[in-house]
Structure 1
Amino acid sequence: MKSHFIVGLFLAISVFTPSCSGGKVLLFPVDGSHWVNMKVLIEELHSRGHSITVIRPSSSWYITENSPLYTSITIADEFSESDDFFEEYLFKVIEIERGDASGLSFLKIQVDLFSMLSKAHDMSCKMVSVILEDKMLVKRLQDERYDLVLTDPALAGGVILTHYLKLPLVLNVRWITSGEGHFALAPSPLSYVPLPGSGHTDKMAFTQRVKNVLFQSFTFFQDRFVVGPHYDALIDKYFDYKTDIVSLLQAADIWLMRTDFVFEFPRPTMPNVVYMGGFQCKPSKPLPADLEEFVQSSGDHGFIIMSLGTLVRSIPADMANDIASAFASLPQKVIWRHLGDRPSTVGNNTLIVEWMPQNDLLGHSKIKAFVAHGGTNGVQEAIYHGVPILGVPLFFDQFDNLIRIQERGAGKILKLSEFSRHTFRQALQELLGNTSYRTNMQKLSSLHRDQPMRPLDSAVFWIEYVMRNKGATHLRSEFYKMPWYSYHSVDVLLVLFTVVAVFVFCTVAIIRFGNGILTEHRWLK
């Protein structure tokens, strides 16, 4: 009887649980911190029996050629160590922000940003061109009969390749070629949906809404004149129909969005958007013995960690000395990931490391605060573990991420333009001394964990859903195929206006004609 029950239970589970036998995934990632969270998806897909092929550039920082998780295809690219434009851009931003906060400085930063973005997208397009020119490689990719392409559209080479191969497309996304993904996909009323870079929340006064509208012009300029031309050239060369990169993005089957509404401000969305904010987060593991000994030596004061992310190798020496000096004045122990020259003002309470197990440290019982640049991965891990943040935003989306944390009372922002030894120490002391920051962050942590299923499980479900159903076109709006005047109902409004105008004109004409006849009739009398 027991054996029959177990067999019956197994059959029931097999019938009612969606399954997907080992599929074939072609993956076109973006390097750096974006690869860190893409690798989480790879590990989960591999554990479920899927076969993964990763296309990587030969100059990749983090994407290794040999891995037990995937097979790689390495593409020669033109990147060299002298092209370290991220660090160059960072130093320019710090110099401008700390020296000149005028409108001219803002324009300088924008020009440098546009230049850097143009170079990055140009490199991505050249890599795709190398692939498409290699007929043997293209045939190999076609013969493999992949179930889908999974790509990060911050650099959209993978989007171009997907449409060329005519495969279903899943995006691991928050950022696309010209801004935040929602703005290309879902209705985004500028009255309460802040644009990236505006520094606003969803509660905007009139002047802030004016600024929000003006910021849209920067996004339009970036898409039309900075980024778009690189992809337009590829499309014109390799596609037999007219389109653009934004339309190709909008045609994706599923958008795996690396955010959720614990973190994000409420806004309209679409049915093919799957929210997986914090999907990379996991319970902490025990620390290495040396780190555990160091944090335990902090006693009741606890410890602080600081990291400015994977892209930042160093910061100006005077800024590093100010940070080290402020840390030295605190009773807490400090673990600081810093790859530059050792500051001369480092105190005995500070341990400088080249790498640290950030997730495990954030989950430690003695952690008191996280000093961070505001990257999505670090912010989500801080939410998961309930650790308040002192944010020092440097570039890209970091200020926008941190403004969402500050608005909810779970952290504090220290702008580069306000940064000094004194202000940094003061901000740290406020974060550590005011318990409301920790309480509010722990509330966010509780909300984040209160879900019907893990974000990672949800993400993988929808990837497998696309495999099982050969796409998800029924969830995708076809609005991107409409001309702009139809999308905004300009043609409808013009027709209605014409009808009303003709009606008014005819009515006036009839009245005047009638009055003329009456006048003539009276004159004849």
Structure 2
Amino acid sequence: MLRGPGIAGLLLPALLFSLLCPKLAQTENILAIFSYTFGSSYLLITPFLKSLVQRGHQLTVISAVKEMPHIEGVHHIRVPKLDMLRQLLLDYDYDIEMSKWIEAQFVSEYFYNCSKFVLEDPGVQELLHNASAQYSMVILEASHTDALYGFSQHFNAPLVGIAAFGSAWNIDFLVGNSAPSVYEPMSALGYSPGLSLMEKWHNLIFITEERLVERFIYLPGQIDLYKQHFSGVSASIHELRRKFSLILINQHFSMGRVRSNVPNIVEVAGMHLAEPTHPLDDELKKLLDEAEHGVIYFSMGLQVLDKWLPPGMINTMLAAFQQIKQQVIWKMNNPAMANNSRNIYARSWLPQREILNHPNVKLFITHGGLLSSIEAVHYAVPQLCAPLFYDQFQNTKRMEQLGVARRLDVMNLSPDAVVKVIEDLVYNASYKQNARYLSQRFHDQPMSAMETAIWWTEYILRHKGADHMRIAEQEMSLMQYYNVDVVSVLFGRIGLSVIIVLFLGWKLVSLVTRNLEYRFNVPMVR
């Protein structure tokens, strides 16, 4: 007669399963909102979201239609208007020499529309009016779309941010960091290295202007959207801006960006490297394998269009490449312009990580975007950087300081100058040696970037927002946050010092005056 396994036989496998797979016992509902309109940012977050799904969590993801890939097991809410906004940007004639204030107005309007299109989407509105919808966490881009912070208050869920482009003073503000890195602006247009006293003053003024831009140009529109779509919540947008439980930053100190981070800032540079690479096709592999003098890979990233490059840059680079021995593999929008050259192979899309991983690649010519910089460090490839926008200038400066890169001034190019700097980077062994050391340093971490990101995200879930990680300044009022008492003490000390100096100066002048009167017996006019 057949017998069942019995109570003990059922309990033991269940116990072992719960011990070996604790993730299934702690799964949560998570809402992720990303208003990105370009693919590079989705390269960063897609593997992160996939990992959360693999851990057993239930995800609802609000995103663009085309750029965000489908993730099995995720409830996707697509926002078609984000793709329309992307097309408007592609059609925009961006001027690399525009002033910071004009740039700020353009960027402010862009992010206003990002928030607006998300909040007005019918699928999103249905979610907001669904009384049964409950979430244990809200994940979104940390900066520039502040109106979306209202999802956290609406669902009474901890707020987790992702800083896809690294950190700056605005991220420090969100986590209440009272010791921000003043040398780290959001935009590098007109920003200097800050070596001299005058440059430091210039940079202080520069970042003060950025704060004014945020307060008077960028924030008002976000506040209006927040009040319109989250009228039932009690917290103001200024309170929510200081409520982040965690911000994952796409940077790492090993790459020359040491910062005074607070506990709820976690560095996860290289998180996107968890995604499997695209393999080389036979044609590309043959080209890389058989390049006698090595290969130079040239890409200005996923987002930069050829029409946004400075006039004449493409022709200058073509003329320079014809003077070198190396095979050039070039990612460009119009490959027909370059494919007639003897040593240039061009495509509109290329498997960048697999190319950089090939041992025959000698140099990466790049725009200095953060993901590209991280990949070059990961694969130990020297860089020739041609920065155009935003963080690309700061990324380039750090790579130069680390001895793995040189910079091209895209507004002042000549074929001979390009050839000279390429030959220096290819034939000077120090660049490759420095790149290898930097790569080793970058890899020397206790956990991978993805493991770190997932561990801390689930830490916030386990501890219901982990308020104990947030420093007290995040709970302060605006006046308290700006440390009016400290400023008063500071200026009090400065004022006291000035009074003391003036008093001593007056006493010194009085002493000299009396000595002169005594010596010449002539009363001095006072």
Instruction: Assess same fold via TM > 0.5.
Output: yes
1:471 is matched with which residue?
465
Distance (Å, rounded) in 1 between the aligned partners of 2:73 and 2:480: 46
Distance 1:457 1:135, change over 3 A: closer
How far does residue 183 in structure 1 lie from its aligned partner after superposition?
Answer: 5.0
CA deviations 1:473-503 (Å, max 9, x no partner) are 11012313323443344347759969x99xx
Distance 1:345 1:214, change over 3 A: farther
2:133 is matched with which residue?
144
2:197 is matched with which residue?
206
Is structure 2 residue 33 aligned with structure 1 residue 28? Answer: yes
Q: 2:81 aligns with which of 77, 82, 85?
A: 77
2:348 is matched with which residue?
354
CA deviations 1:228-267 (Å, max 9, x no partner) are 011111233324546335x423311111111010124322
Distance (Å, rounded) in 2 between the aligned partners of 1:407 and 1:293: 35
2:316 is matched with which residue?
322
Q: 1:444 aligns with which of 438, 463, 469?
A: 438
How far does residue 48 in structure 1 lie from its aligned partner after superposition?
Answer: 2.1
Distance 1:177 1:72, change over 3 A: farther
Please say if residues 153 and 235 of structure 2, whose CA atoms lie closer than 8 Å, have aligned partners that are also in contact.
Answer: no
Letter in 1 for 2:62: I
Distance (Å, rounded) in 2 between the aligned partners of 1:79 and 1:12: 44
Please say if residues 118 and 124 of structure 2, whose CA atoms lie closer than 8 Å, have aligned partners that are also in contact.
Answer: no
Distance 1:174 1:218, change over 3 A: farther
Please say if residues 24 and 51 of structure 1, whose CA atoms lie closer than 8 Å, have aligned partners that are also in contact.
Answer: yes
Letter in 2 for 1:145: Q
Distance 1:15 1:43, change over 3 A: closer
TM-score normalised per structure 1: 0.80
2:219 is matched with which residue?
228
CA deviations 1:50-107 (Å, max 9, x no partner) are 22211124xx44124x5425221123537637953356354x11xx4xxxxxxxxxxx
Is structure 2 residue 260 aligned with structure 1 residue 253? Answer: no
Q: CA RMSD in A?
A: 3.4
Distance 1:118 1:353, change over 3 A: same
How far does residue 318 in structure 1 lie from its aligned partner after superposition?
Answer: 2.5
Please say if residues 174 and 243 of structure 2, whose CA atoms lie closer than 8 Å, have aligned partners that are also in contact.
Answer: no
Distance 1:335 1:165, change over 3 A: same
Please say if residues 131 and 137 of structure 1, whose CA atoms lie closer than 8 Å, have aligned partners that are also in contact.
Answer: no
SS at match of 2:129: helix
Distance 1:431 1:307, change over 3 A: same
1:294 is matched with which residue?
287
Please say if residues 304 and 370 of structure 1, whose CA atoms lie closer than 8 Å, have aligned partners that are also in contact.
Answer: yes
2:267 is matched with which residue?
275
How far does residue 128 in structure 1 lie from its aligned partner after superposition?
Answer: 4.1
Q: 1:110 aligns with which of 83, 97, 100?
A: 100
How far does residue 275 in structure 1 lie from its aligned partner after superposition?
Answer: 0.9
Please say if residues 304 and 335 of structure 1, whose CA atoms lie closer than 8 Å, have aligned partners that are also in contact.
Answer: yes
Is structure 2 residue 178 aligned with structure 1 residue 187? Answer: yes
Distance 1:478 1:383, change over 3 A: same
1:518 is matched with which residue?
none
Distance (Å, rounded) in 1 between the aligned partners of 2:178 and 2:363: 37
2:402 is matched with which residue?
408
1:244 is matched with which residue?
237
1:521 is matched with which residue?
none
Please say if residues 149 and 240 of structure 2, whose CA atoms lie closer than 8 Å, have aligned partners that are also in contact.
Answer: yes
Q: 1:68 aligns with which of 72, 92, 107?
A: 72
Deviates more, 1:369-378 or 1:433-442: 433-442
Distance 1:330 1:494, change over 3 A: closer
Distance 1:285 1:136, change over 3 A: closer
- Of all paired residues, the percent bearing the same amino acid is 24
1:363 is matched with which residue?
357
Distance 1:194 1:442, change over 3 A: farther
How far does residue 137 in structure 1 lie from its aligned partner after superposition?
Answer: 2.6
Please say if residues 173 and 256 of structure 1, whose CA atoms lie closer than 8 Å, have aligned partners that are also in contact.
Answer: yes
Is structure 2 residue 119 aligned with structure 1 residue 125? Answer: no
Is structure 2 residue 244 aligned with structure 1 residue 216? Answer: no
Distance (Å, rounded) in 1 between the aligned partners of 2:76 and 2:152: 17
Distance (Å, rounded) in 2 between the aligned partners of 1:52 and 1:204: 47
Distance 1:63 1:79, change over 3 A: closer
Please say if residues 37 and 82 of structure 2, whose CA atoms lie closer than 8 Å, have aligned partners that are also in contact.
Answer: no
1:265 is matched with which residue?
257
Distance (Å, rounded) in 2 between the aligned partners of 1:486 and 1:179: 18
Please say if residues 321 and 345 of structure 1, whose CA atoms lie closer than 8 Å, have aligned partners that are also in contact.
Answer: no
The runs of 5 or more residues in structure 1 that have no matched partner are 1-6, 97-107, 502-525
Distance 1:191 1:158, change over 3 A: closer
Distance 1:475 1:131, change over 3 A: farther
CA deviations 1:101-128 (Å, max 9, x no partner) are xxxxxxx332342132122122123124
2:390 is matched with which residue?
396
